[in-house]
Amino acid sequence: MQDNKGILLETGTNEFEIIEFVVGGVYYGINVAKVREVINPLPVTPIANAHPYIEGMFTLRGKVIPVVNLAKALSSISTNDSPKIIVCEINNYFISFKVDEVCRIHRISWTQMEPAPNIAGSDRVVGVVKMDTHLVVLLDFEKILAEINPEINEKMTALPETTPELVTARKARTLLIAEDSHMLRELLLNTLHNAGYKTISTENGQDAWDKLEELAASDDAIEDHVQLVITDIEMPRMDGHHLTRRIKEHPKLKVLPVVIFSSLINDEMQRKGEAIGAFAQITKPEIENLIGIIDKKLV
């Protein structure tokens, strides 16, 4: 399975495709947009002082790629002697995950995905999809990647150089945030607050849309309440592309610039975002670039 970029659906339909796989007898899923290919295991070179989840690294098509033992990351036990390797590109990093079995690809709507239950370990879960015979757990691979690479958290809290005048100008601007990952949402909100911006926080695209419709129902101009929207792409109930398209089709909301802040940004996704009217698209976790883009637009 190679180059899945072409398999992505028409932009803004609120549908997506997942690759279903198994680790320790549990069914999991990953967005096809993150996956570059699925391969059989290759010889692995150990890495000195590596994170416990990392088995080592291998070379594939000229790239050196770390391999994560997903069973270890999930505190599970592998149940297959013939594992598969899922090679991914996440946050502009190439990384791979060893799993027990790769099953099939499903095309589903984000409305079918329920938010993660509020239980221990749910911070690693994006959501749960009910299939006819079983549940598929969609993992928060960004969270796992952040545990392995602390540099991601550092980039999520980095602020560009600023001045007191710029901070004062930011305090007059309100941003609406749509981000389902609790960890990333808190990092993002804290960093934007430290920069001076006011925020309205929502946990998925549907909640963001409901809030925007509520604001648009008033007699005031929408810019009196919020001046810019920041959205992830992968979210339960409504994804960021569908949210962006609905904003741009709304007679009152269409003036709002939408910045897509996602781990899925690549050439294909850039074209999709441009097609639905996104003002800018920034790859997580480059929040310094994100704030720079917002500053140029709003202050």
Q: Do 160 and 201 fall into the same domain?
A: yes
Q: Do 294 and 156 fall into the same domain?
A: yes
Q: Do 185 and 235 fall into the same domain?
A: yes
Average pLDDT over every residue of 274-298:
92
Strand order in the sheet with 135-139: 101-109, 15-23, 26-31, 135-139, 125-130, 113-115
Q: Do 267 and 180 fall into the same domain?
A: yes
**Domain-ending residue, one of 106, 122, 149:** 149
Q: Do 86 and 177 fall into the same domain?
A: no
CATH number of the domain where residue 107 is located: 2.40.50.180
Name the domain count of the chain.
2
Residue 250, phi then psi, degrees to nearest 5: -85, 130
Q: Do 186 and 117 fall into the same domain?
A: no
**Domain-ending residue, one of 127, 149, 171:** 149
Q: Residue 96 belongs to what domain range?
A: 4-149
pTM higher than 0.75 for the full model? yes
pLDDT digits (tens, 9 = 90+) for 193-217: 999 999 999 999 999 999 999 999 9
pLDDT digits (tens, 9 = 90+) for 115-151: 777 665 567 888 899 888 999 999 988 888 888 887 7
Q: Do 144 and 208 fall into the same domain?
A: no
* pLDDT (0 to 100) of residue 167: 93
**Domain-ending residue, one of 103, 118, 149:** 149
Q: Do 114 and 231 fall into the same domain?
A: no
Average pLDDT over every residue of 149-164:
78
